[in-house]
A and B are shown apart, each in its own frame.
Chain A
Amino acid sequence: MYQYDEYDQRIVDERVAQFADQTRRYLAGELSEDEFRPLRLQNGLYIQRHAPMLRIAVPYGNLNSKQLRTLGHIARTFDRGYGHITTRQNIQFNWPRLEDVPAILDLLAKVQMHAIQTSGNCIRNVTADPFAGVAADEIVDPRPWCEIVRQWSTFHPEFAFLPRKFKIAVNGAKEDRAVIQIHDIGLDLVRNAAGELGFRVLVGGGLGRTPIIGEEVAAFVPWQQILNYCEAILRVYNLHGRRDNAYKARIKILVKALGVPEFARQVEEEFAHLKDGPSTLTQAEIERVASRFNDPVLSPLEQDAAYRARLAEDKAFAAWARRNVREHRVQGYASVVLSLKPYGVAPGDLTADQFDAVADLADRYAFGEVRSTHEQNIVLASVREADLVALWQDARAIGLATPNIGLLTDIISCPGGDFCALANAKSIPIANAIQDRFDKLDYLFDIGDIEINISGCMNACGHHHVGHIGILGVDKNGEEFYQVTIGGSQGNDAALGKVIGPSFAAAEMPDVISALIDTYVALRHDDERFIDTVRRIGVEPFKTRVYADRQPQRKPAHV
């Protein structure tokens, strides 16, 4: 992964010093609550339900073993022994003390990490495909481009106080695994007819209160100009985005208000001034950044006979390999997904010991590196086939080998009302209740690929709009209810789900999911995924079944 040079390190060290001083002035009463809030948010520090929450940046999901051990140490020393992987590939700690945050940032800086711009109305952590650099369907490795965007957006003096938060994702593969269509800017690496590299630029995607799929603003921006083009977009947004209403302040609202052609025209007008300016990228700069990733040089290996034999004879191993092992672009290697979705655990949580153990797995089997995914799992990008059995056994020993990647229990969930001050309802207990209902592995395999996404409020951190089944926590007269959508999807054919009807009480949710799944199983064609059945037959049959099955709600007896 990317290694800092002295300038990267200096910027992070200077941030640690700056924030330590800001915290000191806040605690001394020199900075008011209102003045400190945006500063701490731009350092990932929220004041939450129980304690501060610190969100640490994991640039496009890349982590090395040294960093994982530091995260384990932080979880053990400053938190209650665990951390949480977010749907934007970052890591959150839910229990640090405000006074300890400067010390935590100092520890992070020593392993080239930080919490810069993980919250606040600024450009957030850039996200990407967790299989970047190793995916068989990759056109161009997005990581150097992500790093270039990361550097450009870090402490950009003009864009630190935007109307609202701003998220950028980069895709470089045939199948988009970075969900670029739901980002403020989605950058799609493409080649034009002449074979030259550039970016298709999408703008105005986002979930939240007003979910919108991003639209193409430029079909092809030459790679040299991409920072100039992004600067043009950000300047138009910074000057003209709404600031009177936080719910209407995202760039998607500006794009909708102006219309795509007019928005694109304003960006082009601004871009004309910036084109070929000093921020124009050079081949030397791309190569310099790319060379700092120090990727292992992988030569094709013979297919491993022992691995294949084990697949044939060991059902449990084969089940894991089928769900959690992915094709690698180099023969003889594979990518492995460690599931952070075992039964009874908050999706995406890792204990301090698991952070250390994952670091050991990375060192032993994966060249010392892992990636966090927006589905809240962990990827070991390059593992020798010959090591897969040993890796599986080691991962099982630490509870990270549940063979459920892409299955019903691989649920995406925000932290919800158990932790988050914004939430209307709890998310994690709903995820756990669904996992309890579907605990038979054979049945899960039979149901096949399906994505359930849960958000505790309409801020949509759990990306419920793009779940095949989306669950949204809502407040009804002070009680927690859940609205269900179906038919959403991420990827190349990203779509927003449709609401099936009135919302449900928490206790009803496992039955609701069962009714949706039963409908699918009854009506599916051979080899048809849940989402494809929904697309073919529409929402109605699912809706009818769910509400027909619904038990009238019993009033609790007075005792």
Chain B
Amino acid sequence: MSDKIIKNGCVVEDERLTVKLAEGEAAADIAVPAGRVLVPLAVWQARRDELLARARSGEVGVWLAAGEDVAALAGDLEVLQLIALHFPKFTDGRSYSAATLLRKRHGFKGELRAIGEVLRDQFNYMTRCGFDALQPQAGRYTDAQLEAALASIGDFTQPYQASVKDPLPLFRRMDRGADREVQQ
């Protein structure tokens, strides 16, 4: 079973601990482990000064739960190299809008990672909304399945809409003139 992730269309090793606040734990008090970690928004907000250098180097990234407002990070986007957005269930679509806002409205240029229930059948939508890193739950796929899943990123090659990935809608992106008939 694989604990690899997909980054920019390739399957890669990427060991990184996701820190979660257990019930009753306070963001200000928990120990943030050394090494590569993702910390919850609340921890980042409480410990920003302490974590700043590690964030700049990319060692520390911040993850947002579905429904947390990305505007909370608007002032940190020059510092942060990595932001992760959580999908508590793959049918919870809030993080698609969050990703779109982070990229389009706030201009985030760093790594944007989908975490949580991240499944191959959503890879196309996720990458179009600006995720460049896809982290399925450890063990969900075998290495071979994850390699095969790369194909799903390209399920739709010329989508209708403008999105983060395709800044123009199809009618502005391609010539859809009358000479483009379908022969039946």
In whole angstroms, how far apart are the Cα atoms of A11 and B172 in the complex?
A: 17
Name A19-45 residues within 8 Å CB distance of B.
22, 30-31, 35, 38-39
Shortest CB distance A395–B (Å):
28
Q: Known: A160-B125, A278-B169, A285-B171. Is A155-B94 also a contact (CB below 8 A)?
A: no
A5 to chain B: closest CB distance in Å? 5
- Among B94, B156, B177, B182, which residue has its beta carbon within 8 angstroms of that of A9? B182
CB atoms of B94 and A11 under 8 A apart: no
Within 8 A of B (CB), among A275-299: 277-279, 282, 285, 288, 291
- Does B174 contact A238, Cβ atoms closer than 8 Å? no
Q: Is the CB of B156 within 8 A of A288?
A: no
Nearest-neighbor residue (CB-CB) of A163 within chain B: B93
Q: Among the listed A8, A38, A278, which residue makes an inter-chain contact with B91, where contact means beta carbons less than 8 Å apart?
A: A38
Q: With a CB–CB cut-off of 8 A, which chain A residues contact B121?
A: 22, 31, 35, 39
A10 within 8 A of B: yes
Please, what's the 1-or-0 string for B146-159, where 1 marks a CB less than 8 Å from any CB in chain A? 00000010011111
Q: Is B96 touching A155 in the complex (CB atoms < 8 A)? A: no
Contacts of B161 in A (CB 8 A): 152, 155-157, 279
Instruction: Tell whether A445 is near chain B: CB-to-CB under 8 Å.
Output: no
Q: Is the CB of B181 within 8 A of A238?
A: no
Please, which residues of chain A bring their CB within 8 A of the CB of B168?
Answer: 278
A4 touches B182 (CB 8 A): yes
**A281 — nearest CB in chain B belongs to which residue?**
B171
Interchain nearest-CB distance for B153 vs A (Å):
12
With A and B bound together, what is the CA distance between A152 and B92 in angstroms?
21
Give the chain B neighbours of A507 by CB distance below 8 A: none
**Do B170 and A7 have beta carbons less than 8 Å apart?**
yes
A6 & B180 in contact (Cβ 8 Å cutoff)? yes
CA distance A112 to B183 in the complex (A): 12
The reply to whether the CB of B107 lies closer than 8 angstroms to some CB of chain A is no
Chain A neighbourhood of B126, CB < 8 A: 157
User: Could you tell me the distance in whole angstroms from the C-beta of B31 to the nearest C-beta in chain A?
Assistant: 32
A290 to chain B, nearest CB (A): 12
With a CB–CB cut-off of 8 A, which chain A residues contact B94?
Answer: 238-239, 243
Distance, CA A35 to CA B117, complexed state (A): 10
Q: Give the CA-CA distance A94 to B182 in the complex, in Å.
A: 31
Once bound together, how far apart are the Cα atoms of A285 and B119, in whole Å? 35
Asked if B128 is at the interface of the complex by the 8 Å CB criterion, the answer is yes
Q: How far is the CB of B100 from chain A (nearest CB, A)?
A: 5
Q: Is A11 within 8 A of B159, CB to CB?
A: yes
Min CB gap B142→A, angstroms: 10
A151 contacts the other chain (Cβ, under 8 Å)? Answer: yes
Check B92–A161 contact: CB distance below 8 A.
yes
Chain A residues closer than 8 Å to B33, beta-carbon distance: none
Provide the residues of chain B in CB contact with A152, threshold 8 Å: 160-161, 169
Within the complex, the shortest CB–CB distance from A172 to chain B, in Å, comes to 21
Q: How far is the CB of B91 from chain A (nearest CB, A)?
A: 5
Q: Which of B85-108 contact A (CB under 8 A)?
A: 90-94, 96-98, 100, 105
CA distance A6 to B90 in the complex (A): 31
Known: A5-B182, A239-B94. A11 touches B100 (CB 8 A): no
> What's the least CB distance linking A294 to chain B, in Å?
11
* Contact flags A362-383 to B (C-beta < 8 A → 1, else 0): 0000000000000000000000
Contact A158 B100, beta carbon cutoff 8 Å = yes
Residues of B within 8 A of A9 (CB): 182
Task: Point out which of A4, A31, A121, A238 has the most chain B C-beta atoms below 10 A from its C-beta.
Answer: A238
A158-B90 contact, Cβ under 8 Å, with A14-B155, A278-B162, A278-B168: no
Bound: A38/B182 CA distance, A = 31
Partner of B160, one of A35, A154, A161: A154
Complex-state Cα separation, A410 to B162, whole angstroms: 43
User: A504 contacts the other chain (Cβ, under 8 Å)?
Assistant: no
Inter-chain CA distance A18–B122, complex, in Å, is: 11
Instruction: Choose one: A8, A243, A277; the contact of B92 (CB below 8 Å).
Output: A243
Q: Whose C-beta in chain A lies nearest to the C-beta of B171?
A: A285
Contact (Cβ within 8 A) B167 A278: yes
Q: Is there contact, CB below 8 Å, between B172 and A162?
A: no
Chain B residues lying within 8 Å of A192, measured Cβ to Cβ, are: none
Q: Within the assembled complex, what's the spacing in Å between the Cα atoms of A35 and B140? A: 12
Does B129 interact with chain A (Cβ within 8 Å)? yes
Q: Are B162 and A239 in contact (CB under 8 A)?
A: no
**Structural contact, A5 and B181, CB atoms closer than 8 A:** yes
Per the bound structure, the CA–CA distance linking A273 and B100 in Å amounts to 13
CB of A235 closer than 8 Å to a CB of B: yes
> Are A161 and B155 in contact, CB atoms less than 8 angstroms apart?
no
Complex: A82 Cα to B115 Cα, angstroms: 45
A154's nearest neighbour on chain B, judged by CB, is B160
Would you call B45 an interface residue if the criterion is a C-beta within 8 Å of the partner chain's C-beta atoms? no
Further contacts, 5 of them, CB under 8 A, given A10-B157, A35-B90, A235-B100: A7-B180, A39-B121, A121-B91, A278-B167, A291-B178
| Closest 3 A/B residue pairs (Cβ) | A161-B93, A157-B128, A157-B125
A-B contact pairs, 18 of them (CB 8 A): A5-B180, A6-B182, A8-B182, A10-B158, A11-B158, A14-B156, A18-B152, A152-B161, A152-B169, A154-B160, A155-B125, A158-B100, A159-B96, A235-B97, A239-B94, A273-B105, A288-B171, A288-B177
Question: Hey, which bits of chain A sit against chain B, CB under 8 A?
Answer: 3-11, 14-15, 18, 22, 30-31, 35, 38-39, 112, 121, 151-152, 154-162, 235, 238-239, 243, 273, 277-279, 282, 285, 288, 291
Question: Which B residues contact A (CB, under 8 angstroms)?
Answer: 67, 90-94, 96-98, 100, 105, 119, 121-122, 124-126, 128-129, 145, 152, 155-163, 167-172, 174, 176-178, 180-182
